[in-house]
Amino acid sequence: MALEINHNISALNAYNQHTINQGNTSLSLRKLSSGLRINTAADNAALLAISEKLRSQTRGLSQSISNANNGRNLVQTAEGALGQTHSALQRMRELAVQAANGTNTPFDRQQLQGEASQLIGEINRISRDTEFNTMKLLNGTFEKNFTADADSLYGARVQVDPDSGFEAGDYNLRLSGADAATAATSVTDNSNVVGGGSFNQSNITVQNGAAFGAYTLRVADNGDGTYTGTLTDPAGESRDAAFSIGPGSGTAPTTANFGDLSLNFSGVTSLSEGSLDINVSGNLRFDLTNAATGDTTAYEINGYAGGTVDLGGLRLTGGVNAQPDNATGEDFSVGSAGEALTLHVGANQSQNVQVSLSDTSSTALGINKINLSTQEGANAAIGVIDEAIGKISTERSRMGAVTNRMDHTIRSLSTTEENMTASESRIRDADMAKEILDYTRNTILAQASISIMAQSKLMPQSILRLLQ
């Protein structure tokens, strides 16, 4: 190795290492003092971008939890006010029952009407003045109503839940898997009617258009070898048909034709007067298509035997009738009026829950004109008040359901926020134990490099010995 004096390479190397060690020491100090592994984009550009996105989510979730809590408090405020409306209506019903009694004089009923009028005024005040953050809650400000232009679809009445998020527009509803070939029937114990031969579901023919649900057949003996059957359908409507049993037992046919249902008694040898129950059920599929988007949602209902069907907020009530398999769907439109209260309960765009709060004034409830001053008016008022109590009960039930939903929403958001925060922490937070070890190592290396620089300056000095 040559001896040089113009360049001290060893000293330069020691200086470079010292600079690196000093930089690493400063970086460790910054991580230790902030507690963060990533303080600037230079520390890790890609992870910084990811952690910032996670941070926006966690902060949005934190605020949405507050939003959901405020929404829950708003709904509870409205529900608490309606509790007093309920109490007022119950007292009014009590007054109406009292006024309907014949022992009251006209003066007595005037006093009863006076108290009822005060209660009506209080119901109006509750509807008018119940507020949350200065917003009116029960005067219809946040009431959203849906109406369908079809009186019925497949024999069922149409209802739309205002809190379901169901969108107004044009739709097509197609029912499949419900025709006579797939509809199933069952006969409840018929031993009290059929004494000989056989009669079971194989003797029943279901035509398209029959309503799913429970039927009741009442049999009457005509005394001439024929019988009259009265079949009552799930809607309560009845039809009669004359029939005979077994070959040659009477002049009437052995098949009782009730239109949508036909009952064959040709294998029955003995029949008594009485009644038996027949159930018609089937596995249904509803295809609901949005005409604007073309999106179709399928709803499978197994063992359907009448009643209400919920298709994502669109309800069919009163029972559905059997239809040919894959029949052409029925077109209908849904319109909306009013704007529901929108609660933003998510970290991102359009993550909302809509809450419809109905008008609960005496006019909306239909009790503004009740008259307890006459016995007839008091008697009629009982039914009117019963309907009003039912409306308030439905409204409070909906609010209770929303409150429970908000509880689940808050718990879900809290869990999501916790996991999001943990993910951001793993990316951004410093491992303090590791950073302390790195800091200790870098400090020792920095001190060592200073010592080496001090030694490296002695190497050129050794050349002076050659001049001695």
Structure confidence at residue 198 as a pLDDT band (50, 70, 90): confident
- At a CB cut-off of 8 Å and minimum separation 6, what does 270 contact? 194, 195, 196, 197, 245
Please tell me which of 51-60, 93-102, 234-243, 305-314 the model is most confident about, judged by mean pLDDT: 93-102
The rounded percent of the chain whose pLDDT value lies above 70 is 92
Predicted confidence (pLDDT) at residue 35 exceeds the cutoff of 80? no
Q: What is the mean pLDDT of residues 357-384?
A: 94
Q: What is the mean pLDDT of residues 366-382?
A: 94
Identify the helix (H) or strand (E) that includes residue 241.
Answer: strand 238-243
Structure confidence at residue 178 as a pLDDT band (50, 70, 90): low
What confidence score (pLDDT) does residue 427 get?
A: 81
Structure confidence at residue 194 as a pLDDT band (50, 70, 90): confident
Q: Higher confidence at residue 427 or residue 333?
A: 333
What confidence score (pLDDT) does residue 93 get?
A: 96
Mean pLDDT for the chain overall? 85
Count of beta carbons in the 10 Å neighbourhood of residue 404: 11
What confidence score (pLDDT) does residue 428 get?
A: 77
Q: What is the mean pLDDT of residues 384-405?
A: 93
Q: What is the mean pLDDT of residues 172-196?
A: 72
Tell me the three state secondary structure of residue 431: coil
What phi and psi values does residue 89 have, to the nearest 5 degrees? -65, -40
Q: What is the mean pLDDT of residues 230-252?
A: 85
What confidence score (pLDDT) does residue 246 get?
A: 79
Backbone region of residue 341 per phi and psi (left: phi > 0; alpha: psi in -120 to 50; beta: other values): beta
Predicted confidence (pLDDT) at residue 458 exceeds the cutoff of 70? no
- CATH number of the 51-140+357-423 domain: 1.20.1330.10
What confidence score (pLDDT) does residue 151 get?
A: 77
Q: What is the mean pLDDT of residues 221-250?
A: 86
Predicted confidence (pLDDT) at residue 249 exceeds the cutoff of 70? no
Tell me the three state secondary structure of residue 384: helix
Evaluated on CA atoms 84, 89, 90, 94, the torsion sign reads: positive
Residues of the chain with CATH 1.20.1330.10: 51-140+357-423
Helix ranges restricted to H, 349-374: 362-365
Please tell me which of 22-31, 202-211, 372-381, 454-463 the model is most confident about, judged by mean pLDDT: 372-381
The rounded percent of the chain whose pLDDT value lies above 90 is 34
Q: Higher confidence at residue 272 or residue 107?
A: 107
Predicted confidence (pLDDT) at residue 1 exceeds the cutoff of 60? no
Q: What is the DSSP letter of 198?
A: -
Tens of pLDDT, residues 107-142 = 999 999 999 999 999 999 999 999 999 999 999 899
Integer CA distances (angstroms), 406 to 65, 136, 345, 412, 453, in order: 9, 21, 9, 10, 68
